Amino acid sequence: MKKRFNPIKDKSSLIIDTLMSSPDMPADETLRFKIRLAVEETVENVVRYAYDGGIGWLEVSTAVDTDGMTLSIELRDAGSPFNPLEREDPDISLSAEERKIGGLGIYLCKQLMDQVEYRYEDGCNILTMTKIIPGK
């Protein structure tokens, strides 16, 4: 599944629902819950921060590898170059009041998905998240 949204302003819910309704998504509800949380965090970050005023595009895609055991979700945008994986993980042992603002969403994404990769290519931010689908 591949879809482009343009502009993305005020379309977070639509983008998230589109990704989650992909036929590539696993049927297991617990797995879907984890994937949805990771998708929500990453999509919200792109919609909020990639472009000034949300005027820009976001291309999302899903795919399952040939053996059906790994789901890949890709988010591609032409916003300001930003590698969220370069941010230091938040110190979750601190209280919310003591912690620095930001970074918790991508940390959560890294915990929920099996692999998260970023690259900047041809003027685009590309974030790829993968999840192993057990029992396939």
Summarize pLDDT for 52-79 with one digit per residue, the tens: 877 899 999 999 998 889 999 999 999 9
Confidence of residue 103 (pLDDT cuts 50, 70, 90): low
Rounded to whole angstroms, the Cα distance separating 72 from 53 reads 28
Could you tell me the pTM of the whole model? 0.89
Tokens representing 69 are: 């055991």
Res. 80 pLDDT band, cuts 50 70 90: very high
Instruction: Please give the Cα distance from 53 to 74 (Å, whole number).
Output: 22
CA distances from 19 to 4, 40, 71, 94, 96 (A): 11, 10, 12, 33, 30
From 12-16, 29-33, 132-136, the region with the lowest mean pLDDT: 132-136
Q: Looking at 47-51, 122-126, 131-135, which range is the least confident one?
A: 131-135
- In this prediction, residues 80-89 reach a mean pLDDT of 85
The domains located in the chain, with CATH, are 2-132 (3.30.565.10)
